[in-house]
Amino acid sequence: MSNLPIYVFSGPSGAGKSTVLQMLMEKFPNNFGFSVSHTTRKPRPGEKDGIDYHFTDRDTFLSEISEGKFLEYAEFAGNIYGTSRSAVQSVLDAGRICILDVELEGVKSIHALQPPLNAQYILIRPSSIDELEKRLRGRGTETDETLSKRLARAREDIQFSETKEGQKLFTKIIINDDLNTAFKELEDFLLPTIKCTKCVLVVSWYPNGMSDENGKPVDDLIFSLLNIASQYDIKICLHFEPYKNRDTHTIVEDLKYIYEKGYTSHPAYYRLSVYQSNESKLLPVVYVYDSYRIEPSKWKKILHPNEKETIRNKAYNAFLIGLLLESDDCSKLSESAFNGGYTYFVGNGISKASSPNAWEYLSKECLKYNLTFYPSIGPGYDDVSVRPWNGAATQAREFGHTFTNAFNKAMNAKPTGIGIVSFNEWHEGTQIEPSIPFKWTGYLAPSRVYKDYLPYSPEFYLRLTRLIVNRFEGIDTLPERFTQESEVELSQLYKLLKRD
């Protein structure tokens, strides 16, 4: 399954769980998705198949249980209820954080799965059985028999949550005495995951005092970038660049450094949830460029949890994403014990993995090896100003078609996320920053005059990027400035996404 987190909710009937979850979905409609449960009971008036439940017959349900198609199931009042693997996968495939609403038996079953799900477990309970009984009686929908059954089950839930086993299993226990207070507690708990799913700036990084041959050291800028990112509600993570004599030992030192400096604990640093040592943890994300230069056997020594030199379960542990170059690199990253893989190049034919036609296959391979997958897209590519011999890699922009075509192929691959190779890459022709027409006056070689976006405005590619991001996130809000352009340009922008 995907590395997107799964939240498994449980709690006695009448504890307010359904109401709290409804509030969560209303506030964050584009972040979460419910896994629709299966049941053998008959539909109630107004219930729709596939929306409220997947309604099925008992024989079919039992047959699919025997085939291993369910994560959990339980019987109550003569009816079977359960969560299918396909229902959860459909939510994750849509790029949503999956929510499960199950009974205590289901929680235990899901927690015992091997290999374990990337799940956290949340109990919403009343302060006492007396308080719960008062709420249930207040509904006016319970008979003495059903009330007795619900209270008996509630006692089991509450008693289990107070045991050592329950305290270890549940990541969060919320006592719902006041609905708004309970929701705020849940929101605060989920906010790091909600905010770390999208809007991430991946910053090139070298160790303190280092840079590439044409640049300046960037380490001193990281705190400033993190603080600015907080103001705009975006996240930042680091892109480890290669340097002389880099190996796994220096990588470990780099991870220790960014941890001890406080970068990875900053509220604006991008984190992803992983399941390790029977619990879910949020780990800081680090991309590793040219990771293939170090052999998988050496990576494994620091990334596999059973190795002596491992970083796993250390304070400086991280979610490491390695570079994909070839079509079989997912298996190599898995052997190395990376958490995920990404493609980087957007030029024509630079690497097999960077071809949009390879992404559906790579996505399936990453899923098979339990890796996240992040293909990178760009508006075009032209680096002959710095690499005159590399004209074969040039990728014409085609007035936005190259960008949207790559995006659509990335979306079809159902990746964990999508990278946009752009900012400060003018020399490679992938920029989306505003570009105005420039008349050459002789102090630059003609090949160093960057292309503009005519016949469209200098902000054409920023606007197109906004539409791409909206499509990925499933939202339709736009800043006021977006529409302050000619109708011709706006029409072309919408046509690009519709046609491609």
For the segment 363-385, the average pLDDT, to the nearest whole number, is: 90
Side chain identity at 376, as an amino acid letter?
S
Domain boundary among 160, 193, 226: 193
Work out whether the CA dihedral 166, 171, 175, 176 comes out positive or negative: negative
The string of DSSP codes covering 285-297 is: EEEETTGGGS-HH
Beta-carbon contacts of 44 under 8 Å, excluding residues fewer than 6 positions away, are none
> Do 222 and 176 share a structural domain?
no
Domain boundary among 193, 218, 253: 193
Q: pLDDT at residue 500 above 50?
A: no
How far apart (Å, rounded) are the C-alpha atoms in residues 357 and 360? 7
More confident of the two residues 53 and 256: 256
> Do 204 and 184 share a structural domain?
no
How far apart (Å, rounded) are the C-alpha atoms in residues 254 and 257? 5
368 within domain boundaries: no
> Do 169 and 23 share a structural domain?
yes
401 within domain boundaries: yes
Identify the CATH number of the domain in which residue 177 sits.
3.40.50.300
For the segment 338-348, the average pLDDT, to the nearest whole number, is: 94
For the segment 300-315, the average pLDDT, to the nearest whole number, is: 95
| CB under 8 A, 24+ apart: contacts of 190-196 | 190/7, 190/24, 192/271, 192/282, 193/5, 193/97, 193/273, 193/282, 194/28, 194/31, 194/97, 195/233, 195/235, 196/235, 196/270, 196/271, 196/272, 196/282
Side chain identity at 340, as an amino acid letter?
G
424 within domain boundaries: yes
For the segment 26-51, the average pLDDT, to the nearest whole number, is: 85
Helix axes 144-161 and 104-111, enclosed angle (nearest 10): 40
> Do 486 and 406 share a structural domain?
yes
Q: Based on the structure, what is the number of domains in the chain?
A: 3
388 within domain boundaries: yes
Q: pLDDT at residue 241 above 90?
A: yes
> Do 264 and 139 share a structural domain?
no
- Cα 434 from chain centroid (whole Å): 29
Confidence at 357, pLDDT banded by 50, 70, 90: very high
* Distance separating the N- and C-terminal Cα atoms of the chain: 29
Lowest mean pLDDT among 123-137, 181-195, 398-412: 181-195
Does residue 43 contact residue 28 with C-beta atoms inside 8 Å? no
Beta-carbon contacts of 187 under 8 Å, excluding residues fewer than 6 positions away, are 24, 27
> Do 189 and 201 share a structural domain?
no
pLDDT one-digit tens code per residue, 442-466: 555 555 567 788 899 999 999 999 9
> Do 188 and 228 share a structural domain?
no
> Do 499 and 453 share a structural domain?
yes
What is the gyration radius of the CA atoms in the chain, in angstroms? 26
The string of DSSP codes covering 370-394 is: T-EEE-EE-S-B--TTT-TT-GGG-
Element (H, E) at 247: none
Range of the structural domain that residue 200 is part of:
196-323
SS3 442: coil
333 within domain boundaries: no
Lowest mean pLDDT among 334-348, 441-455, 474-488: 441-455
Helix axes 401-412 and 487-499, enclosed angle (nearest 10): 40
359 within domain boundaries: no
> Do 60 and 172 share a structural domain?
yes
More confident of the two residues 3 and 455: 455
Structure-token pair, residue 148: 């007795």
Q: pLDDT at residue 498 above 60?
A: yes
> Do 269 and 164 share a structural domain?
no
Confidence at 439, pLDDT banded by 50, 70, 90: low
> Do 176 and 28 share a structural domain?
yes
pLDDT one-digit tens code per residue, 461-476: 999 999 998 888 766 7
32 within domain boundaries: yes
Q: pLDDT at residue 269 above 90?
A: yes
More confident of the two residues 18 and 438: 18
Of 421, 353, 411, residue with least CA distance to 383: 421
Domain boundary among 167, 193, 219: 193
How far apart (Å, rounded) are the C-alpha atoms in residues 36 and 324? 35
Beta-carbon contacts of 391 under 8 Å, excluding residues fewer than 6 positions away, are 384
How far apart (Å, rounded) are the C-alpha atoms in residues 240 and 288? 5
Identify the CATH number of the domain in which residue 252 sits.
3.20.20.80
> Do 492 and 475 share a structural domain?
yes
355 within domain boundaries: no
